[in-house]
Structure 1
Amino acid sequence: MSRYSFPAGKGIAFFLLATLIWFFSGEACYALHNPPCCPDECSVRALYLKKPPFSGSEVRDFQQALQYLGFYRGELDGVYGLQTYNAVKKFQRSNKLPVNGSINVATLRVLKKYFELPLATKTRTKGPKGEVRLEVHIKTRTLIVYDDDKVFKTYRVAVGRNKTPTPVGEWRIVRKAKNWGTGFGTRWLGLSVPWGLFGIHGTNKPWSIGSKASHGCIRMFNRDVEELYEWVKPGTRVTVIGQVFPVRYEDRLVIRRGYKGSDVYQVQQKLRELGYLKSAPDGIYGPATIAAVKKFQKDHDFPVTGEIDIDIYPAIGL
């Protein structure tokens, strides 16, 4: 018998148990659907009162949802402590669920119903007749659909958190997919962001709509993204509008090798405009960008570091 063999019957039972554990964990979502940008979208684990307590963005999302519904009055600290536990019990009691203070499948199912939009009509809104383009406004958390140059419809969305911002810039839709993974709702619209996989998608956390909640993707109510899905195609323009850099130079990052994001992308655009960068911007601070910065620094009598610092930002027009 090999070290991996099991007695007859028990081996099958063990395999089935392991498969179920794997499937209902986030690992199944990753393996089956290759999720693009938001790892916390994949699955929602059971949460309950324990020591040490559960903590993180997932807990904070639930606190936010319960606060919105009037069940939670504490701080949005992302810690599943006594206040959160009691808020969950109040929610369960109010909705005639088993009162155990645990966020489980039954509780989550009822919670979602409060946030999903009702079906207003059996027929969908007729789509735009002209050229469709999209604008996403980070500050207001809205997505605007344009029919030629006229506003056709506006949706509320969730955008990236401050530490995982939604990429600002001019993009295109490059891929459409249905039911890509449980955490991404019912539709996926991939964007042409060169330094990572980002997109517009549905969500299994509808209470997050209208907030900064994602790892960079743009979340919509499932019903909304299903409607939008029918109006766009690969090549549709998507403009994401937001502030990339802090106003004060003192608050800006020193950009160096290995950095990636909208800030790097805008630096590359400026270097390209100034004639120092020949390759297309890709949002990744690699060898070509470093060489371009060094040449700019040398030409303008700056210390040749290859980094973007408080002196280089204004010098290149940022």
Structure 2
Amino acid sequence: MRKLLLVLIILLLLSVNISSTEISHNCSCYQSRKISLQYPPLKGDDIWELQRELKILNYYKGKINSLYDWNTYIAVKRFQYANGLKGDGMVTDKLWSDLGKAIYGENIITANKNDSPPEGVSILVDTYKMKLIVYSDGSKYAEFPIAIGKPSSKSPIGEFKIIQKVDMWNKSVFGYKWMKLSTPWGNYGVHGTNKPGSIGYASSNGCIRMFNKDVEKLYSWVKIGTKVKIIGYRKPVKITHAFRSGNKGKDVLLFQEKLREHGFDPGCTDGIFSTDTKKALKEFKYIYGLKDDVIADENIFYILNIR
């Protein structure tokens, strides 16, 4: 009996460790760090964000150069003194929160519904307008401001699904709630942020950031499998090889989109050559009198006008 109990405890501990490892690698956003004046000066995307927010508030007058230099340090101290904070020039999670409140106000929330929507929730992320729109049974239900990926790390464009939800995960970095997307070429999700001043800008490493109060509301509405469509600019994609069932990538997503344009339903245009895409390809080949297999080759690409 004792041996059995020991085995069960070990298995439980292993499962906890596995879950923690999976969670810790779910997001490609960078980790939070304390920023202080040093030589050589610290550099990074977080300092780029810091300078941008300080410039919005008219505390920083210099060039946005991603360096925590003397001018940036003085701008931080000016903000701290003006807001009754300790003027040490240190950039911590609390300072990010204070910057966000200074930009957007104390009550950082824009939800226009207080009750949970009925069944049939889907999400549209419009990276052009920096908005996340919730639909319920096809009708617009709520709209939230968001932050999207920087030009160097754009948010994924396509149709995906929520495949994981984690409550209260690593608040100090990602705020409240985490909802992972089914993107096959990277770890992206919708989550809260400890940098509320970034909302409304292209600031993340590809994830969709929301105010924490907003993401808590959204988290209660969505389920595993909820569809998330992200629209926006995508760099041109080249197809260099044939596709088979199981292939994944942005090139597969382009292929799926072209199938849909020609009237064949590949399911979600998510970059995964799965059952629905296979079915659409077989129908396409039947209509055009091509070899009845599940390989998308140069002949298919030619007919679909994929260059």
TM over 0.5: yes
Select 2:256's aligned residue among 246, 269, 274. Answer: 269
| Partner of residue 149 from structure 1, selected from 138, 142, 164 | 138
Partner of 2:186: 196
Matches within 5 A, 1:85-234: 85-104=73-92, 107-108=95-96, 110-114=98-102, 115=104, 118=107, 125-182=114-171, 183-234=173-224
Q: Provide the alpha-carbon RMSD of the alignment.
A: 3.5
Alignment of 1:233-248 (within 5 A): 233-245=223-235
Relative distance call for 1:108 and 1:155 in structure 2 (3 A) is: closer
| Structure 1 letter corresponding to 2:61 | R
Hey, what does 2:49 align to over in structure 1?
Answer: 61
CA contact (8 A) 1:189 1:229 kept: yes
Per-residue displacement from partner, 1:253-293 (whole Å, max 9, x unpaired)? 66669xx997423334268779xxx9x987489xxxxxx68
**Once the 2 structures are TM-superposed, how far is the Cα of residue 99 of structure 1 from its aligned partner?**
2.1
Secondary structure of the structure 1 residue equivalent to 2:206: coil
Opposite residue 136 of structure 1, the aligned amino acid is V
Contact 1:35-1:181 at 8 Å conserved across structures = no
- Mapped to 1, the partners of 2:35 and 2:165 lie a distance apart of 33
Letter in 2 for 1:164: S
Q: Give yes or no for the alignment of 1:72 onto 2:64.
A: no
Q: SS of the residue aligned with 2:163?
A: strand
Please name the residue that 2:290 is paired with.
none
Identity of aligned residues (%): 34
Rounded Cα–Cα distance in structure 2 between residues aligned with 1:58 and 1:120? 23
Q: CA deviation at 1:119?
A: 7.2
Q: 1:61-84, CA deviations, whole angstroms, 9 ceiling, x for partnerless residues? A: 111221222212222221112221
Partner Cα separation in structure 2 for residue 313 and residue 163 of structure 1: 31
- SS of residue paired to 1:127: coil
1:270/1:316 contact within 8 Å kept: no
Aligned-residue offset at 1:96: 2.1
Gaps of 5+ in 2: 1-19, 242-246, 274-294
Q: Is the 8 A contact 1:175 1:191 kept in 2?
A: yes
Cα distance per residue 1:135-170 (max 9 Å; x no partner): 000111100011222211110001111221111111
* Aligned-partner SS, 1:90: helix
The structure-2 alpha-carbon separation of the partners of 1:161 and 1:147, relative to structure 1 and needing over 3 Å to count, comes to: same
Decide which moves more: 179-188 or 31-40. Answer: 31-40
Distance 1:158 1:104, change over 3 A: closer
Matched residues in 1 for 2:93 and 2:269: separation? 44
Question: Which consecutive residues of structure 1, in runs of 5 or more, have no partner in the other structure?
Answer: 1-29, 246-251, 286-291, 301-311
Residues 96, 195 of structure 2: 8 Å contact kept: no
> What SS is found at the alignment partner of 1:87?
helix
1:105–1:148 CA distance, 2 compared to 1 (3 A) = closer
* In 2, Cα distance between equivalents of 1:119 and 1:161: 22
Instruction: Verify the 8 A CA contact 1:177 1:189 in the aligned structure 2.
Output: yes
Distance in 1 between residues matched to 2:35 and 2:302, nearest whole Å: 45
Amino acid at match of 1:266: L
Aligned residues of 1:133 and 1:238 also touching (Cα < 8 A): yes
Match of 1:48 among 22, 36, 41: 36
Count of aligned positions? 255
Partner secondary structure for residue 190 of structure 2: strand
The residue aligned with 1:21 is none
